[in-house]
Amino acid sequence: MSTLMKIYGTPLALLTDLYQLTMAQGYWKTGRAEQEAVFHMFFRKNPFQGGFTIAAGLEYVLNYLNQFRFTLDDIDYLSVLEGNDGRPLFAKEFLDYLSKLELRCDLDAVPEGTVVFPHEPLVRVKGPILQCQILETALLNIVNYQTLIATKSARICAATGGEPVLEFGLRRAQGIDGALAASRAAYIGGCAATSNVLAGKLFDIPVKGTHAHSWVMSFNDELSAFEEYATAMPNNCVFLVDTYDTLDGVRNAIQVGLRLRESGHEMVGIRLDSGDLAYLSIEARQLLDQAGFSNASIVASNDLDEGIITSLKEQGAKIAVWGVGTKLVTAYDQPALGGVYKLGAIQNEEGRWEPKVKLSEQAIKTSTPGILQVRRFRNGEGAIADMIYNELNMNSLNTVMVDPLDPTRHRHFEKDLVGDDLLIPIVRKGDTVHDCEPLTAIRERVQQQLGLFHAGIRRHVKPHQYPVGLEEELHQLKTEWILRARQPQSK
């Protein structure tokens, strides 16, 4: 059973915006429901003012597609919706059509854990336009959020320099859905474990946890609290030492740690959750080392993110494990990726593909026409540039790439340069052709992928801008269709 079925127990066809269904009825009424179309999902800027993004959410997408159908309850609900005139919003015949609808779309996507960049399609959907349209909202909802959190996690894990990060965000997450998806995406991005036990069960993520201040406060004194916790959980002793005086708490933890050792167990470490984490961790490390607990870890939490972690490390903090919650699972400094889903081409009555372009007063918001693919070029040192090209023009691909935001900037590639296409077949005519991967494999891909790029893309401040552009003929096609679209519209 898929993860979404375990959580919801029902298909999620109604997880969509109303206008997707009103447009669907429009396509159906005008006889265009089966007209073939291609849509692309992409984003326009790397999140967190960063230099890279980590694609995530594909397993949820497959779960959603494999279970897609309108149930009788769904149809009954839609049948009572009313238009502005008080009459049914949807025709009975259209609802009958929806009740029998079976997806026949193709879906291509970059594998989860792939490093991606602005304007590159993460997902490409091809099929009957009515079906492609209905899928838009759910795909954006799933991929936008998990991609955002996986990217935040990768940034935080990069800041620790390889020291483990524990995701502690369940209580601050945006609801149950947000908590589960965040735990999954955070693990993909590099977190070592989660406090979320349900996520641990659903996704096979390691779970970690200690005790709360309330445990300590429920006893007459801190030492008794630590002693009783050690008796109850001798193989899980990470003591939270800042309920009262932090350094006194460390000394109490040491006392209990010595007694644990006498009974054949070992104190795992201590946790700091407030105060000057740099100073306190240095002082705590000295106390632990002097008492013979050099292997005891210092875990730190307290609204951490990549910026604070970087600062703490620069101050010489002796923290070995980082517990990150609120600012990870809520993507605190940028709560949305901003991914969009745009029509790239549509098939006319003669069976030919017609490019489609969406204009804007802002160049960054003008879409790219065609059936798009991304080719990543590599040399012996790693990835050097990504070129977006039109699959309808594969036989005459150019070796010149144009910057989409500055057409005066060109990049020339040697013809024998190695290139890999990022979008791979996932679904064909509604059937899955690429199985979901283990989360551990996706997590490993993130690190392998990041290793392909210049280290500057991982910089938190003014990162290196990796080159991404349009194949020259695609750039010319886009320019041509922009000029056409800017002509006065006439019937």
Burial class of 68 by CB neighbour count within 10 A (0 to 12, 13 to 18, 19+): buried
Of the given ranges (2-6, 111-115, 247-251, 354-358), which has the lowest mean pLDDT? 2-6
Cβ–Cβ under 8 Å, residues 450 and 325: no
Is 461 among the domain residues?
no
Considering only 52-61, 68-77, 331-340, 355-364, which range has the smallest mean pLDDT?
Answer: 355-364
Cα 44 to chain center, whole Å?
A: 15
**Whether residue 491 has pLDDT greater than 60:** no
**Cα dihedral sign for 318, 320, 326, 328?**
positive
- Which CATH number characterizes residue 246's domain? 3.20.20.70
| Pairing relationship of beta strands 321-324 and 297-300 according to DSSP bridges | parallel
Whether residue 310 lies inside any domain: the answer is yes
**Residue 361 pLDDT greater than 80, yes or no:** no
pTM for the whole structure: 0.96
Q: How far is CA 70 from CA 137, 255, 425, in A?
A: 16, 62, 25
Query: What's the confidence (pLDDT) of residue 404?
Result: 83
Q: What pLDDT was estimated at residue 346?
A: 97
> What tokens appear for 95 in the block?
């609802």
Percent of the chain surpassing pLDDT 70: 99
pLDDT of the residue at 14? 97
Residue type, 381: E
Question: Would you say residue 199 lies in a domain?
Answer: yes
Q: Is residue 185 a part of any domain in this protein? A: yes
Which pLDDT tens digit goes with each residue over 409-450? 899 988 778 899 999 999 999 999 998 999 999 999 999 999
In a domain, 315, yes or no: yes
Residue 292 lies in a domain: yes
User: Which residues 6+ apart lie within 8 Å of 28 measured at CB?
Assistant: 94, 97, 130
Structure tokens belonging to residue 40: 């692309």
Would you state the structure tokens that stand for residue 169, as one six-digit string? 């965000």
Given a contact cutoff of 8 angstroms between Cβ atoms, the answer to whether 108 and 115 are in contact is no
Which structural domain, as residue segments, surrounds residue 320?
154-329
- 242: number of Cβ within 10 Å: 22
Mean pLDDT of 315-336: 97
Residue 389 domain-assigned? no
Side-chain-side CA neighbours of residue 352 (13 Å): 3
Give the pLDDT of residue 408: 87
User: Does residue 435 sit within a domain?
Assistant: no
pLDDT band at 5; cut points 50, 70, 90: confident
Q: What is the enclosing helix (H) or strand (E) of 384?
A: strand 382-390
Q: What is the pLDDT of residue 397?
A: 74
Q: Is the pLDDT of residue 39 over 90?
A: yes
Distances (CA, A) of 454 to 152, 270, 410, 458: 19, 37, 20, 8
pLDDT over 70 at 405, yes or no: yes
Mean pLDDT of the chain: 95
- The tally of domains found in the chain comes to 1
